[in-house]
Amino acid sequence: MFVANACGSLKLAIPDDLSILSFNNSLFAQLSFPQLTSVDMNARQLGIEAAAQMISHIENPGLPATKIIVPHQLVERKSCTALKEGIHYV
């Protein structure tokens, strides 16, 4: 993990000095040190929905675009400090 290595060389402690968040909850997020907090996008369901939409649009070219929200969750691990209530992060 390049970011964690760079932080170590700069004497920055994860998560005390810097929090790291990953996307898609890969095996890499679980095996890295520290383990990465990650947004699990449910990649399998995302692929299923994308394929279904593509098939629908091939069969019905005039079909309007559809928005679909795939269930997702935040998997908290060791790379982020706990968010404090009332503080907004950008």
- Per residue in 48-84, pLDDT (tens digit) is 999 999 999 999 999 998 898 888 999 999 998 876 6
- Per residue in 9-31, pLDDT (tens digit) is 888 888 888 888 898 898 988 89
pLDDT of res. 90 = 45
pLDDT of res. 83 = 63
Provide CB contacts within 8 A for 42, sequence distance 6+: 70, 71, 72
pLDDT of res. 66 = 87
- Give the pLDDT band (50/70/90) at residue 86: low
pLDDT of res. 54 = 94
- Please state the separation of Cα 3 from the chain's center in Å: 16
